[in-house]
Chain A
Amino acid sequence: MKKILKYVIVDIIQNKIVVIYTALLLLISLSVFNLESSAAKGMASLLNLILLVVPLVCVIFSTIYVYNSSEFTELLVSQPLKRKTIWLSLFGGLATSLSLAFLIGVGVPVMLYHADPTGLVLILSGLFLTVVFVSIAFLAVGWTRDKAKGIGWAIALWLFFALIFDALVLFLLFQFQDYPLENAMVVMSFFNPIDLSRVQILLQMDISALMGYTGAVFREFFGSTTGILISFFGLLIWIVIPLLFSLRSFKRKDM
């Protein structure tokens, strides 16, 4: 496992896209903190970056990378190695290097300008989102052999979690506005990793007061230590489940 992981990581780190991604994240984070009047405002702007750009880049880059390393996987499958080892090494390599990019690009500036629990939750959520979307990319790769279709699926999944899901939630809220939906909303947020991270970070930022009664319910649930642990556990599930499904299809794949 370690051997293959090493080769994957070395290969990805040499990849220019990851370097550009790191530099871009760093540039945006630094300028956000320097342009906004207060670091707290900077954090709010950074939130959108983390919730939209990070998942998008991770899901697309990982999908393309896995398709492009078909030669590598094909070569390794004929060698005395478990398919599971090969697949998990690819996943581990992508997750590690993209997390590293995020830590350098966002983690370092946040620690410099806003080193408090809020900053920490922001970094942690960003890291989780990075790995979750690598996992989701693997799921998309498992669905089809066709690279173009695979990338299409990856983008569709991102679109669903970043935009469509929220639209559906809003639609439900308006349809059932006569009923108390606050607790249902907490449950709903677990079905979308982006929402889960958003709620976590917003509650840390003390702007939950703006969210009305739902905000208060969210506060009650996610504000407690157990709530935070449960929501990070939710993100963990979002990493494991897609990865397991993709592993299952990779084990049956014909080279």
Chain B
Amino acid sequence: MIELKNISKRFGRLQVLDNVNTTFREGECIALLGPNGCGKTTMIKTILGMVVPDSGQILFNGQKVNNDWKYRSQIGYMPQIGRYPENMTIAHIIEMMKDIRKEGGVVPDDELIKRFGLDTMMDKKMRTLSGGTTQKVSAALAFMFKPSVLILDEPTAGLDPVSSETLKERIIREKDKGKLILITSHILSELDDMVTKVIYMNEGNFLFERPLAELKEITGEEKLSRAVAKIMGNKSIGRPSNQMQPV
């Protein structure tokens, strides 16, 4: 569904993405892991066209996206830190988004707005919202237009446990519908019951890219966090997959 071909990007001297190649397919739920600054967010932003890669190509359903923009109507994106025009209220933001994305003909899905209790604070300006509430707005917007691809950058960071659980439940439901979900998180325990594939990035490269089941099998661990810790500790397992693993 989404294909990255030889994507490279450097910010000044820093090589953030170094010749990344991969394919994401429908129905996959991919956990994107790695230390801070390893290029996860940059890769996500490249897919969204927010960062322009120095070289390489991105294909969305087989179509090059270099100068295209329509493909973004099929993506729901939840940024790590949602930045919104400060003077607009939640209602304004949602209204504007509906206005922009109404061409697809989808009926907006207000479920998360209600479940997060955002409907009671529609008149609040974005500037006055707490970090967690801003995250809730981001989440509600990402799911609102029933996109076939969901890109979630640290979705539960900053959310309270109840909302976090609500969101997780929703992510799993979308995954069961066969959508492609790309998720980054540092809280590995919450990824256990949703991901199908794990990508570990370091310094702009994929250290390994394996289905979760295979990962658990190799390491003999049941928990994702333990499996990742083991594979990182045991270089003999981690290293060979330094070359891209066909999945």
Contacts and interface: CB of A to CB of B under 8 A. Distances in A.
Contacts of B99: 3
B73 interface: yes
B87 A79 contact: no
B100 A255 contact: no
A7 B72 contact: no
Given A14-B87, A71-B85, A78 B50 contact: yes
B87 A76 contact: no
A4 B69 CA distance: 16
B218 to A, nearest CB: 36
A156 B201 CA distance: 44
B101 interface: yes
Interface in B101-147: 101, 103
A69 B86 CA distance: 9
Interface stretch (B18-26, B76-84, B192-200, B219-227): B76-84
A80 B48 contact: no
A217 interface: no
Contacts of B101: 79-80
B70 interface: yes
Contact of A71 (B50, B84, B103): B84
Given A81-B100, A82-B69, A255-B45, A74 B83 contact: yes
A75 B78 CA distance: 10
Interface string A132-170: 000000000000000000000000000000000000000
A80 B52 contact: no
Contacts of A81: 69, 72, 100
Contact of A80 (B50, B72, B79, B88): B72
Interface in A66-94: 69-72, 74-83
A74 B71 CA distance: 17
Interface in B174-227: none
A76 B100 contact: yes
A11 B126 CA distance: 14
A133 B31 CA distance: 48
A83 B72 CA distance: 12
Contacts of B45: 254-255
A80 B100 contact: yes
B103 to A, nearest CB: 8
Contacts, number: 58
Interface in A222-255: 251-255
Nearest to B97: A79
A7 B51 contact: no
A62 to B, nearest CB: 17
B96 A80 contact: no
Contacts of A252: 52
Most buried by B among A71, A74, A77, A254: A254
A7 B89 CA distance: 13
Contacts of A255: 45, 50-51
Interface string A12-36: 0010000000000000000000000
A254 B50 contact: yes
Given A71-B84, A82-B69, A254 B52 contact: yes
A223 B202 CA distance: 68
A72 B101 CA distance: 16
A68 to B, nearest CB: 9
Contact of B50 (A7, A72, A74): A74
A77 B96 contact: no
B157 to A, nearest CB: 18
25 contacts: A3-B100, A4-B100, A7-B96, A11-B85, A11-B87, A11-B88, A71-B84, A71-B85, A71-B86, A75-B83, A75-B84, A76-B100, A77-B48, A78-B50, A79-B72, A79-B101, A80-B72, A80-B73, A80-B101, A80-B103, A82-B69, A83-B69, A254-B45, A254-B51, A254-B52
Given A80-B101, A254-B50, A255-B51, 5 more contacts: A3-B100, A80-B70, A80-B73, A81-B100, A253-B52
9 cross-chain pairs, A with B, having the tightest CB-CB distances, nearest first = A80-B73, A255-B50, A71-B83, A80-B72, A254-B51, A72-B85, A78-B77, A82-B69, A78-B48
